[in-house]
């Protein structure tokens, strides 16, 4: 790892860091979801990323993309509700763009963009709808801006994580227009979106993993 590219070891460490973060924060994710959803987001995410950790144990991919596709496929098969298809589809879409053992920050930005496009397509949501997109879209924009400016992976990932957390906080005053929370109408106002919260965890895990290399 040279501080510039994403390699297979870093991708594996990132996914393991996501699993650890979800384990640490699963109760908070469930509390957020109990306010405006089914109260199962923490449990579902924990189940999914625990399954991913198991699936990747001993798995020897030849590309960064193969590892991410494996993670995504496992999420789809192990997570109930919307989280499995949305996150699993995003990891699979991202992975399919990465066909080499390493990826530059710009190539990784393109992979993240493919992941967001998958979420938007499946969830039929847009920024401002009070969904995970409200954390993912600003994180992607921040990462891409940094990557295009020649920043290191760690710098780009840190900026993206901060943007995702800003996006998460910005969901609180929004009224949900998609998903289970949309059924609550104005009662969804005042609560952070649980999907945006888990998305922020994913980008923070990337920043911490990149910083450690």
| Full set of structural domains in the chain with CATH | 6-211 (1.25.40.340)
In tens digits, the chain (213 residues) has pLDDT values of 345 799 999 999 999 999 999 999 999 999 999 998 889 999 999 999 999 999 999 999 999 999 999 999 999 999 977 899 999 999 999 999 999 999 999 999 999 999 999 999 999 999 999 999 999 999 999 999 999 999 999 999 999 999 999 999 999 999 999 887 888 888 889 999 999 999 999 999 999 999 998
50 Cβ neighbours under 8 A, 6+ residues apart: 19, 23
- Residue 103 sits at φ, ψ, to 5 deg, of -140, 135
List the beta bridge partners of residue 102. Answer: 7
Q: How far apart are CA 149 and CA 106, in angstroms?
A: 10
DSSP at 175: P
DSSP at 166: H
- pTM of this structure: 0.96
């Amino acid at each position: 790892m040279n501080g510039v590219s994403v390699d297979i070891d870093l991708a594996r460490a990132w996914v393991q860091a996501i699993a650890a973060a979800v384990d640490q924060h699963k109760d908070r994710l469930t509390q957020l979801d109990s306010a405006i959803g089914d109260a199962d987001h923490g449990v579902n995410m924990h189940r999914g990323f625990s399954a991913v950790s198991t699936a990747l144990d001993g798995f020897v991919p030849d590309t960064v993309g193969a590892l991410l596709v494996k993670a995504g496929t496992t999420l789809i098969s192990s997570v109930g509700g919307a989280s499995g298809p949305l996150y699993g589809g995003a990891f699979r879409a991202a992975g399919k763009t990465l066909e080499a053992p390493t990826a530059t920050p710009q190539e990784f930005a393109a992979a993240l963009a493919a992941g967001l496009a998958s979420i938007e397509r499946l969830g039929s949501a847009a920024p401002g709808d009070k969904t995970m997109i409200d954390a993912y879209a600003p994180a992607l924009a921040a990462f891409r801006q940094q990557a295009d400016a020649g920043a290191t992976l760690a710098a780009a990932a840190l900026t993206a994580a901060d943007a995702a957390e800003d996006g998460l906080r910005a969901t609180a005053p929004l009224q949900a227009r998609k998903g289970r929370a949309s059924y609550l109408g104005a009662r969804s106002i005042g609560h952070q979106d649980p999907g945006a919260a888990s998305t922020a965890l994913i980008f923070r895990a990337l920043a911490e993993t990149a910083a450690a290399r």
